[in-house]
């Protein structure tokens, strides 16, 4: 360790209090005070990080299967119950239970049933299946699962990051008359193509709001057709799969384009609450409120004209979702867990081995039908069948975790994990790497970086009032 760990916190914070903070078991006022204290205290921050590391290690441990002698004992008990009595004793006579007649049959069935339940329990633990499956949830098929590999018991070293190659940031200015003054103006980057982004600039002109698009991460912008959304553009959503499909509008009306903004068509009013969209052919998945107060995941099979929910079997409100363009598999996040479906949402299976909140994880389709999902404590590259702890991110002598101001930002196409600390400082952990890299901050310290789609890092000004017309982008 780079800093000496004292025996006690200077404010007397106990291990029980830190554990309750990590488990979200404290009242909101106490949790807020303790969360603000942890980043300032080496003792508390290191203990929180140790909890995360130990939790990741324990979640990766494989539950030992039944020993080879278990079957022999059960078999001997069944045989002894069925075999005829012998005149002379021996080892068999000493082990034979005093059962007979119908009692022998009942006892044999009970032993067999018990053995089956035990064996099934071990198989469920190995596969990561939930011990109490919900009756409306279909488990992930066993063929797609694999035994959890044992995790290493060696604690990962606490090492500060090494200098990495900073992103090659480029500064670009929006065309005259366009700013990033939310909600009048909104910028949205295409999830499938980080070079493509749209800006919708609201206005009071009869023609409506103006729309511009870039296909070279902000170097050049092209005017598209205006969209009649009034004086505000508080909704711009680019499809996860097709960067030419965009929703734009305000609370009163939403329009959709399928040709990159050349033409716009009014949509149904409930799409005003949509925050994420993914289209394959005529089938479109969308996450939003759909005119209610609850976020729902719904699907349309007729080009966004009618919708039906597909998240009834998911425990908890869906907060985000991803669609794998290669195979159509779905991944959703609720406040407490991830859920996966390989049949368009007809059946769902809960991802196992999760430590912490899904909000503290990032995800991407990793190929071969698998999802890569990572937090600042652990990663999986096979949809949760196995988990591995990752090296702790240590900054200025403090181990960084979500509770201490660090956040996972994104997973890049090569499997690297990006994270931010204090909103702007950027760090990178290469895929299967053992040491974090410090990448610095954007050229303007008030700008916050995020990953815009595939292969491009964007840095935008803080929201709120202000005539910001400059952006920073960099290839990853």
DSSP string, 411-436: E-TTSPEEEEETTTEEEEE-TT-SS-
Output the six-digit token pair for 186.
């909104």
User: What CA–CA distance (Å, rounded) separates 43 from 41?
Assistant: 5
Q: Is 434 exposed, middle or buried (0-12, 13-18, 19+ CB in 10 A)?
A: exposed
Output the six-digit token pair for 189.
């980057």
Output the six-digit token pair for 290.
């759909």
Mean pLDDT of the region 134-157:
47
Output the six-digit token pair for 310.
């597909």
The answer on pLDDT for 76 being more than 60 is no
User: What CA–CA distance (Å, rounded) separates 249 from 188?
Assistant: 13
The answer on pLDDT for 142 being more than 50 is no
Candidates 411, 426, 392; CA nearest to 163 is: 426
Query: What one-character-per-residue DSSP string does 256-283 give?
Result: EESSTTSS-EE--GGGGGEEEEEEETTE
183-233 per-position pLDDT tens digit: 788 999 999 999 999 999 986 566 689 999 999 999 999 999 999 887 788
Model pLDDT, residue 371: 96
pTM summary value: 0.70
- Note whether 387 and 61 are within 8 A (CB): no
- Note whether 37 and 13 are within 8 A (CB): yes
Model pLDDT, residue 5: 43
Domain ranges within the chain, ordered by starting residue = 68-144, 162-475
Candidates 179, 189, 180, 249; CA nearest to 215 is: 189
Confidence band, pLDDT 50/70/90 cuts, at residue 319:
very high
Count of residues making up the chain: 476
Return all residues near 331 (Cβ < 8 A) that are at least 6 apart. Answer: 321, 322, 324, 338, 339, 340, 363, 371
Look at 7-21, 85-99, 167-181 and tell me which has the smallest mean pLDDT.
85-99
Confidence band, pLDDT 50/70/90 cuts, at residue 299:
very high
CA dist 334 → 311, 360, 420, 445 (Å): 11, 12, 22, 32
Under DSSP, the state recorded for 371 is: E
Look at 51-60, 308-317, 399-408, 427-436 and tell me which has the smallest mean pLDDT.
51-60
| Residue given tokens 């009834």 in the structure block | 312
Model pLDDT, residue 70: 47
Neighbours of 107 (CB within 10 A): 17
User: What CA–CA distance (Å, rounded) separates 169 from 225?
Assistant: 30
Q: Determine what percent of the chain is predicted with pLDDT higher than 70.
A: 71
Mean pLDDT of the region 453-474:
84
Return all residues near 239 (Cβ < 8 A) that are at least 6 apart. Answer: 190, 191, 192, 245, 246, 277, 278, 279
The answer on pLDDT for 292 being more than 90 is no
Q: Dihedral (C-alpha) 9, 14, 15, 17: value to the nearest 10 degrees?
A: -120
Mean pLDDT of the region 149-157:
57
334-384 per-position pLDDT tens digit: 999 999 999 999 999 999 888 889 999 999 999 888 999 999 999 999 999
Confidence band, pLDDT 50/70/90 cuts, at residue 174:
very high
**Which residues are bridge partners to 265 per DSSP?**
256
Mean pLDDT of the region 46-68:
56
Confidence band, pLDDT 50/70/90 cuts, at residue 443:
very high
261-275 per-position pLDDT tens digit: 999 999 887 888 899
What does pLDDT average to over the chain? 78
Q: How remote is the C-alpha of 353 from its chain's centroid? A: 13
Q: How remote is the C-alpha of 437 from its chain's centroid? A: 22
162-475: which CATH number, 3.40.309.10, 2.130.10.10, 3.40.50.2300, 3.40.250.10? Answer: 2.130.10.10
């Amino acid at each position: 360790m780079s800093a000496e760990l004292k025996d006690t916190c200077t404010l007397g914070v106990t291990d029980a209090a830190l554990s309750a903070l990590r488990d979200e078991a404290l009242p909101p006022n106490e949790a807020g005070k303790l969360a603000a204290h942890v980043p300032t205290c080496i003792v508390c921050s290191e203990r929180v990080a140790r909890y995360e590391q130990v939790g990741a290690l324990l979640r990766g441990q494989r539950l030992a299967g039944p020993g080879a002698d278990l079957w022999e004992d059960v078999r001997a008990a069944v045989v002894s119950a069925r075999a005829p009595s012998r005149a002379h004793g021996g080892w068999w006579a000493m082990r034979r239970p005093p059962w007979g007649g119908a009692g022998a049959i009942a006892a044999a069935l009970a032993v067999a049933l018990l053995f089956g339940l035990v064996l099934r329990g071990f198989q469920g633990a190995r596969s990561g299946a939930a011990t109490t499956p919900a009756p409306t949830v279909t488990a992930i098929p066993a063929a797609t699962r694999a035994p959890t590999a044992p995790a290493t018991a060696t604690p990962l070293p606490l090492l500060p990051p090494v200098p990495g190659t900073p992103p090659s940031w480029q500064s670009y200015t929006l065309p005259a008359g366009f700013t990033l003054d939310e909600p009048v103006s909104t910028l949205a980057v295409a999830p499938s193509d980080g070079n493509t982004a749209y800006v919708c600039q609201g206005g009071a002109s009869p023609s409506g709001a103006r729309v511009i698009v870039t296909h070279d991460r902000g170097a050049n912008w092209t005017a598209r057709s205006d969209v009649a959304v009034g004086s505000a553009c508080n909704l711009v959503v680019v499809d996860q799969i097709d960067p030419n499909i965009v929703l734009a509008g305000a609370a009163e009306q939403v329009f959709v384009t399928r040709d990159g903004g050349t033409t716009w068509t009014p949509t149904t009013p409930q799409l005003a609450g949509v925050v994420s969209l993914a289209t394959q052919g005529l089938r479109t998945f969308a996450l939003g409120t759909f005119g209610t107060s609850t976020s729902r995941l719904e699907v349309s099979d007729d080009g966004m004209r009618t919708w039906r929910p597909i998240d009834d079997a998911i425990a908890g409100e869906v907060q985000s979702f991803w669609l794998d363009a290669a195979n159509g598999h779905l991944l959703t996040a609720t406040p407490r867990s991830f859920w996966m479906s390989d049949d368009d949402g007809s059946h769902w299976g809960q991802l196992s081995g999760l430590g912490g909140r899904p909000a503290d994880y990032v995800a991407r389709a990793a190929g071969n039908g698998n999802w890569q999902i990572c937090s600042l404590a652990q990663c999986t590259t096979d949809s949760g069948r196995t988990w591995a702890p990752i090296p702790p991110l240590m900054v200025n002598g403090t181990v960084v975790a979500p509770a201490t101001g660090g956040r996972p930002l994104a997973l890049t196409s090569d499997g690297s994990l990006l994270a931010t600390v204090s909103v702007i400082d950027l760090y990178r952990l290469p895929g299967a790497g053992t040491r974090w890299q410090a990448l610095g901050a954007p050229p303007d310290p008030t700008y916050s970086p995020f990953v815009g789609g595939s292969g491009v890092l964007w840095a935008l000004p803080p929201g709120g009032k202000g005539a910001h017309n400059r952006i920073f982008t960099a290839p990853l």
